[in-house]
Amino acid sequence: MTAVTACRSCGGTDLQRFLDLGTTPLPDALVDPGADLSQEERFPLGVAFCPSCSLVQLTEEVSAEKMFVDNYHYYSSFSDHLLKHSREHALGLLRSRGLGPDSLVVEVASNDGYLLRNFVEAGVPVLGVDPSPGPAAAAVEAGVPTLREFFGIDLARRLVTEGKRADVIIANNVMAHVPDLNGFVAGMKHLLADDGLITVENPYVRDLVDHCEFDTIYHEHFCYFSCTAVDALARRHGLWLNDVEYFPDLHGGTLRWHLGHHDRRTDTVRAYLREEAERGLTELSAYADFADRVRRVCTDLATLIRERRAAGRTVAAYGAAAKGAMLLNHAGLGTDLVEYVVDRNPHKQGKLMPGTHQPVRPPEVLLEEQPDDVLLLAWNFRDEILAQQAEYIARGGRFIVPVPSPEVVP
């Protein structure tokens, strides 16, 4: 672990720390049941604002190998909502970019091939890049050619030397995950064909703050982006931020940034930049009361669950998500309060949640055991999971949604 002393984007050394989340285990470091729990590692987690380029970022860095090669069980294909969103993205690009058998679509962090398979189906050549062994193997199995590597300027140079240029580069939920942010953007710039398009998706820092989504802050996410920060980053590498799309229901509020070699800036981009300045997201002030709000959610949630347990109710949780591990740890919800977690990813089942050690079980358990309450750790899939658990609810089960403030539904 190393302390971050300069901004990951602009190199500015005046980082202003506004949140200290103590120490936590790594969010995806699910524990094997037989493991020696006293050996579990914890790392400090703090967040700072860069006044020079507005980038919000972690103050400590854990090695990417440790997080994405050794401990990664996240498979994108377990959410129907995400699969639908990705398919619509792919179909939109196929139409708008006129992609065909001579094109090349590169996806960075292509995971299990959840998105690229739509292009494969349409006969468009693709290349996935992902360093995580399990998801990358699943992608190859699904017919999506995948390089099991980290993406950056070195890999981009190698691909260009091999004669490759990308007509479209897609980077979803990965720009936050790279320690060498500038090497990553330089790589995309280098690999992109002259009239090519880069689309980058990431949760929007404005929504993180507005909806108190503090559990999405964890070691895997080195950075938290605004349009202002992305604009500065892109310009540094000779790229233009030309358009922005907003998906309020994806991961708590996601932006898709369109980048290219040439200036085709839309009014939408100008409007976002203006609004961010007006809202204070380009200053520390927007983040000033965030730490207090985080503490309040943790306290209120723990109190609510304690009261319900004291009233004799049983409590389980849904979603062995990275953010779920963070929420359980920050709110101090051990096995005395939340008995187990259900998740439909078989790679997570049978393991224990990092730090709080609830066993991860399949979702069918909810109907078998009918716990009185289920804490919805994967609150970003609220509609999808509530619909899927209609029978559990019809039998009297209740969900506790933790953010923006704890709420019992229905």
For residue 271, the tally of other CB atoms under 10 A from its CB is: 12
- Which member of 49, 68, 78, 290 binds ligand JHZ (CB under 6 A)? 78
Least Å from the CB of residue 325 to ligand JHZ: 8
Least Å from the CB of residue 318 to ligand JHZ: 7
25 near ligand JHZ, rule: CB under 6 A: no
> How far apart, in whole angstroms, are the C-alpha atoms of residue 38 and residue 40?
6
Tokens 């990951």 sit at which residue?
A: 8
252: left (phi over 0), alpha (psi -120 to 50) or beta: left
44 near Zn ion, rule: CB under 5 A: no
User: Are the C-beta atoms of residues 54 and 117 closer than 8 Å to each other?
Assistant: no
52 near Zn ion, rule: CB under 5 A: yes
138 near Zn ion, rule: CB under 5 A: no
- Which member of 12, 44, 125, 332 binds Zn ion (CB under 5 A)? 12
- Which member of 136, 144, 380, 397 binds ligand JHZ (CB under 6 A)? 380
Least Å from the CB of residue 161 to ligand JHZ: 30
Whole-Å CA distances, 113 to 97, 191, 303 = 21, 20, 41
- Specify which residues 376 forms β-bridges with: 318
Binding-residue pattern over the window 187 to 226 for Zn ion, x denoting contact by CB under 5 A: ----------------------------------------
Residue 99: name its binding partner from ligand JHZ, Zn ion, none (Cβ under 5 to 8 Å by kind): none
Compute and round to an integer the Cα radius of gyration of the chain: 21
> How far apart, in whole angstroms, are the C-alpha atoms of residue 221 and residue 4?
14
- Which member of 182, 335, 345, 370 binds ligand JHZ (CB under 6 A)? 345
Which tokens belong to 150?
């980290």
User: Are the C-beta atoms of residues 127 and 151 closer than 8 Å to each other?
Assistant: no
79 near ligand JHZ, rule: CB under 6 A: yes
251 near ligand JHZ, rule: CB under 6 A: yes
Per CB under 6 A, the segment of 205-213, 267-275, 332-340, 373-381 that binds ligand JHZ is 373-381
Burial class (CB in 10 A: 0-12, 13-18, 19+), 122: middle
Interaction residues for ligand JHZ, span 264-323 (CB under 6 A): 319-323
Residue 12: name its binding partner from ligand JHZ, Zn ion, none (Cβ under 5 to 8 Å by kind): Zn ion
Per CB under 6 A, the segment of 161-169, 190-198, 333-341, 378-386 that binds ligand JHZ is 378-386
176 near Zn ion, rule: CB under 5 A: no
User: Are the C-beta atoms of residues 371 and 315 closer than 8 Å to each other?
Assistant: yes
Tell me whether residue 319 or residue 359 sits nearer to ligand JHZ (CB atom). 319
Render 108-162 in DSSP notation, one character per residue.
ET-TTSTTHHHHHHTT--EEEE---HHHHHHHHHTT--EE-S--SHHHHHHHHHT
Per CB under 6 A, the segment of 3-11, 31-39, 237-245, 377-385 that binds ligand JHZ is 377-385
Q: Which residue is nearest to ligand JHZ (CB)?
A: 321
Look at residues 154, 152, 149, 144 and name the one whose alpha carbon lies nearest to residue 115: 144
Identify whether 346 is preceded by a cis peptide bond (ω within 30 of 0).
no
Q: Considering CB under 5 A, how many residues would be counted as binding Zn ion?
A: 8
Count of alpha carbons within 13 Å of 153, Cβ hemisphere only? 9
Residues at the contact surface with Zn ion, assessed by CB under 5 A: 7, 9-10, 12, 50, 52-53, 55
Residues that bind ligand JHZ (CB under 6 A): 74, 78-79, 173, 203, 220, 251, 319-323, 343-345, 348, 363, 378, 380-381, 384-385, 388
